[in-house]
Structure formats: C-alpha cells, structure tokens
Structure 1
Amino acid sequence: MEFISIPFIIFGLVIFFSAFFTVKQQTSVVIERFGKFTSIRNSGLQMKVPIIDRVAGRVNLRIQQLDVIIETQTKDNVFVKMKVSVQFKVIQEKVYEAFYKLEYPHDQITAYVFDVVRAEVPKLILDDVFVRKDDIAIAVKRELNEAMTTYGYDIINTLVTDIDPDIQVKNAMNRINAAEREKVAAEYESEAQRIRIVAKAKAEAESKRLQGQGIADQRREIARGLVESVNQLNEVGINSQEASALIVVTQHYDTLHAIGADTHSNLILLPNSPQAATDMLNNMVASFAASNQIGEAMKTTKPKPKDKHLGSGNDVPPAQG
C-alpha cells in the first residue's frame, strides 16, 4: 500500500503545482476552459483549475515596431523605395480582440501601409515626396488607427525613415545639385571679381587724382621758382628771354644728370657737347625774339573799329550851312 500511495502523492503534487503560474510584466495571459475563453490574467502569480483550464496564449503589451519596405511610383514616373516604421501596441483593455480577432497582425498592418503609401505617393513628384514625407506618415497612421483599433491595437506612431529613388535618378539629382552649387559659386565669384574691379578702379581714380594734384602743385612751385629766377636774373642785367633760355639749358643739364644717376634707366641718346648747348641757347633766344616780333606785328595789323557816327555808303551826307 505504501508503494501504491507514493505515485498518487507525486501525481497530486504535480496537479497542485500546475494550478499555479506566473505572468510577466507587460504581458497578459488568455485562459481557456475546454477550448472556450474564460478569463485574462495580468502580471503576477495566478491560479487556474488544473487539467480543466489551460493557458491559450500570451499577449505582449509592450510597444512593438514593424518596418515595411514599399516600392512605388511618383507622379513624375520615378520609382522609389520607401521604408515606413510603424510603432504599435496591444490595448490592455482589448486583449480579447487582439488575441481572437486577428491572427497575423503584422500582415494586416503591412497591407494597410502598402495601400496608403501607394495611394498618396503617386499624387506627388519626387521632390515633394521628400518634402511631404511627414504628411504621408500622418496619412498612414490615420488609416491604421481606424482599422486596427477594432482589433485591439493602438498605433503609437508612423515614420517614413527612408526614401531611396532609382540609382539613375539619384545620380541625375546629384549632378543637378552639383551644377546648381557650381552656378551659385560662379555667381559669388563674379560678384567678388566685380567688387575687386570696382575697388581697383576707385583706387586708381583716387591715385590719378592725387597724382594730378601733385603734378599741378609741382608745376605751380616750378613756375613760382622760375618767376623768382627770372626776377633775380633781371636784377643783374639779363633780360627775360635770355633768362628763360638759360633756365631751360640748366634744366637740360639737370635732366642729363638725373638720367645718368638712375641705374635702371634705358639707353637714351641726347646731344651733350658744348656746341650743342650753345646752339640750343641761341635757338631759344632766336625763338623768343621771333615770337615777340610776331606778337607785335599782330597788334599793329589789328583792324580798327569803324566810327559809330559814320553810316553806310548809301546814307545822304548832311547839308552844308
């Protein structure tokens, strides 16, 4: 009898301990009795009727993510691959619907994502797909919420995480962007060159103005010096013509000295003999004399104005008294 009771005791212990089970955090357990739904148990230590009740399944209540890759066509006939990430979870109050109404939730969500994306993207050109990707994600989330709430699922968020056009289109877009950047760079370079040219022209104009002002001041001082020199020579009995010729000859020799002192000057042939200086002085004196004679002759031959009392030849002379 003792050997027979031991197996019964062991069997009883197994049955007893099988009545207890644990449920993890963020998990719900569905209990069935003879294949019929009985209850839903949440996290913690739980108890069921041995042999009669069984754990039909466990439902994960944590947020899950499903990545859906879709290939579709844009309005401008460009094929793109889009990656849409859907974040969802089972509503704790609707574990029954999530467990019994929908067998493959991932396939259902994928189908809805395909349907919405292939309805929205063909309305947009490729550039607008990149700009309005958030609008596409909102449309997917709205459609999924309307469909999946019935099955006990809550759509937390939808994100368009990748947009990959055809490789040829991508290369063409890169070339367009590169050309656009080169165009902008060329415009900036042209503007910079224009600024440099304008600044250089202003600098040259200012330099010429200052140079002209300097030359004018220089000539003014030279003229003042010449006047003083002529006055001093007149005081010692040398007339203005001879003084001017003497000054010109002196400047001629000063110029020769300056050319000889400059080591970087080119070769210049100038008359430098004493006879050449004498001829130059005589020619200048003769030129000044001839100029004065011409001036005096022009003054003497200048026509006199007519008498205002004389009329024309047709006028009748006054009668004699």
Structure 2
Amino acid sequence: MNSIVSFLNGGGLGAVIRGGLGAVILIVVLIVLAFNAFFVVKQQNAVIIERLGRFSAILGAGLHAKVPFIDRKAATVSLRTMKNGFDIDVKTQDNVTIGLEVSVQYHVSYERGETPAQSGVYKSYYMLQQPVAQMRDFITDALRSSIPVYTLDEVFAKKDDIAKDVNATVSGQMAAYGFTLVSTLITKIALPAEVENSMNDINAAQRKRAAAQELAEADRIKRVTEATAEAEAMEKAGEGIAAQRKAIALGIKDSLEIIQETGIGNDEANQLFMFTQWSEMMTEFARTGKTSTVVLPSDFSQSASMFEQMLAATKATDDKR
C-alpha cells in the first residue's frame, strides 16, 4: 500500500498517461500518412504526380504509393473518348449565312513517347489550359476557310467530305497538344427562314414542272400509241378488203368458167350469174333484218334494169357499213 502511494506521489501515473497519449497520436499520424501515401487510379485514367511542384511521374490504373507531403496528385486525366458540340456560323460562296451544328469526338492521345514529356497525357495537361475552347477555335477557322468555296447546294451535298477535311486539319493541330480527334460530324445545317422558304418554293415549282412534263410525255405516248394502233388497224382492214375483193373476183371468174363449160353463151352466162348474185344479195338482206326499201323490176328479163338495181342495193349496203 505504501508503494502504490509512493508511485502515485512520484509521478508514475502521469508518465503512463503521457506515454499512452503519445502512442495514440503516433498511430493516428501513421494512419494519416498511410492514407496520403497510398492511392488507387481507376481504369481509363492516368494520374500526374508532382514532387515539390515539379513533374515527377505519370501513373496508370492500379494501386500506387507516393511520398506524403512531398508528392502530390497534380491531375487525374481521363483517357475515355469525349464528345462536344459546337454551333458555328459560316457564309457560303453564294453569300448565304448558315448555322452549322458540329459534333466532335476526341480523347487524350495514347502516345507515350520516348520521354514522359512527349506523352499525350503530359501535353494535354501542361501545354494547353482550355483544350475544348481551343478545339472550337480550330474547327471554326477550318470551316470558315473551307465553306466559302462551296455554294449552298454543294454544302448540303458535300457536308460529309467537308467534315472529313476539317477533321484532318484540326487533328494535326490538336495533336501538338496531346489530343486525338476521332471524328468530326456536321449534324445540322440551319438556314435563315426566308432562304428556307425560298428553297421550298423552288423545289415545289421544280416538282410541279417535272410532274407536268411527265404527264405531257405520258399523253404524247398515249396519242402516238393510239395513232399507231389505228394506222395498223386501217392497214389490216385494207389488206382484208383487198383480199376479200380478190377472192370475190376469183370466185366470179371460176363461176363464169363453170357456167360457160355447160355450153351457155357469154351473154346468157353473165345474166344468169348476175341474177344469182342478185338473189343471194336479197336473201342476205332479208336475213339481216335491216329496214330498207328496195324497188324490184317488173320484168326480170330486163337485165339492164336488174343490174342497176343490184348496183343501187350494193351501194346502199356499202353506205350502211
């Protein structure tokens, strides 16, 4: 008991307390140093380490360590492809001011270089403070240099070629600052309202003119086809009539020859043939049932009168056809 009192009176408790507090402080300091010394870099990122304000190293994805309070993470640079859109006003060769919506995809160059200072990560951080603004200026300058050589219609027709040329030009400029342009696209061409209305009116007029030309051509083809068909039909009809007349003439010739072979004279044969033809004509006339008036001769021996009647009836039949 006396020894415990002596220990307390002698300051032993204070020493123990002071020793325990120091250990706690040391542990806390070590924990803080550990958190400050070790860090993790995420995938598709790179960390720039500076030592006492000067560039030290570029670290990729994974667990890394640095000297606490001496080294610091100056920047975390994303290596993923990024996208930005710009609205740029340009003038065409025919003095039309148009608005272009340009979409750009780019990323920090993956080039490492022989030294860290030649790598894309180093250049992107240390050589250009505002890369997006600088990229916009480069693209604007390239477009305003290339568009004025094209008319408005050519801009619409060749916008992809123009975008490729701009991408090639700006890629070379941004490469010096550690950036790679993946693609440059002209996604929209905006026209002044009055120009757009005028173009719509012109297009509508052109379509109407084309439609009218097509209709006229169709009508011409129809008329030519009908005329050709009619001419061919008339030609065929004429050939048919000629063949019919030829057949009739041959039939008459054969009939007369047969009649004459029986010994009947030419005059009697002709009269008999004419009477037979007249009878057949009257029979056909009665069969068709068409209304008409026919004057018959009172004496069939008058061949001349019969022949005149036959001619009159034949003419009437031809007129009806």
Query: Taking structure 2 as the reference length, what is the TM-score of the superposition?
Result: 0.73
AA in 1 matched with 2:82: Q
Q: Which residue of 1 aligns with 2:149?
A: 123
Q: Distance in 1 between matches of 2:233 and 2:139?
A: 74
1:31, 1:56 within 8 Å by CA — same for their partners in 2? yes
AA in 2 matched with 1:239: E
Matched, 1:232 2:259: yes
Instruction: Give the stretch that moved more between structures: 237-246 or 5-14.
Output: 237-246
Q: CA deviation at 1:208?
A: 2.6
Q: Distance in 2 between matches of 1:139 and 1:249?
A: 96
Deviations 1:247-283 (A, max 9, x none): 45324413421330xxxx6xx4313xxxx31259577
Q: Which residue of 1 aligns with 2:292?
A: 269
Q: Distance in 1 between matches of 2:194 and 2:144?
A: 22
AA in 2 matched with 1:59: V
Matched, 1:243 2:243: no
Deviations 1:25-55 (A, max 9, x none): 2211122334333332222211111123221
Q: CA deviation at 1:14?
A: 2.1
Structure 1 counterpart SS, 2:84: strand
1:241, 1:288 within 8 Å by CA — same for their partners in 2? no
Q: CA deviation at 1:126?
A: 0.3
Change (3 A) 1:205 1:57: same
AA in 2 matched with 1:246: F
1:15, 1:50 within 8 Å by CA — same for their partners in 2? yes
1:86, 1:159 within 8 Å by CA — same for their partners in 2? yes
Q: Distance in 2 between matches of 1:97 and 1:73?
A: 34
Change (3 A) 1:282 1:80: farther
2:47, 2:58 within 8 Å by CA — same for their partners in 1? yes
2:297, 2:305 within 8 Å by CA — same for their partners in 1? no
Q: Distance in 1 between matches of 2:168 and 2:299?
A: 108
Report how many residues are paired.
Answer: 279
1:249, 1:280 within 8 Å by CA — same for their partners in 2? no
Q: Distance in 1 between matches of 2:76 and 2:218?
A: 71
Q: Which residue of 2 aligns with 1:299?
A: none
| Corresponding residue to 1:58 among 76, 98, 102 | 76
Q: Distance in 2 between matches of 1:49 and 1:280?
A: 151
AA in 1 matched with 2:234: K
RMSD over aligned CA atoms reads 3.2
Gaps of 5+ in 1: 290-321
Gaps of 5+ in 2: 1-18, 111-118, 309-321
1:32, 1:38 within 8 Å by CA — same for their partners in 2? yes
Change (3 A) 1:232 1:142: closer
1:22, 1:43 within 8 Å by CA — same for their partners in 2? yes
Matched, 1:8 2:35: no
1:242, 1:285 within 8 Å by CA — same for their partners in 2? no
Change (3 A) 1:56 1:242: same
2:108, 2:178 within 8 Å by CA — same for their partners in 1? yes
AA in 1 matched with 2:59: R
Matched, 1:176 2:202: yes
Deviations 1:180-200 (A, max 9, x none): 445445545544444444444
| Corresponding residue to 1:166 among 192, 208, 216 | 192
Structure 2 counterpart SS, 1:46: strand
Q: Which residue of 1 aligns with 2:123?
A: 97
Deviations 1:95-141 (A, max 9, x none): 22311232221111111212221222223210111233244324423
Change (3 A) 1:286 1:258: closer
Q: Distance in 1 between matches of 2:201 and 2:301?
A: 82
Q: Which residue of 1 aligns with 2:45?
A: 27
Q: Distance in 2 between matches of 1:254 and 1:63?
A: 103
| Corresponding residue to 2:242 among 209, 213, 216 | 216
1:80, 1:163 within 8 Å by CA — same for their partners in 2? yes
Q: Distance in 1 between matches of 2:300 and 2:193?
A: 91
Q: Which residue of 2 aligns with 1:259?
A: 288
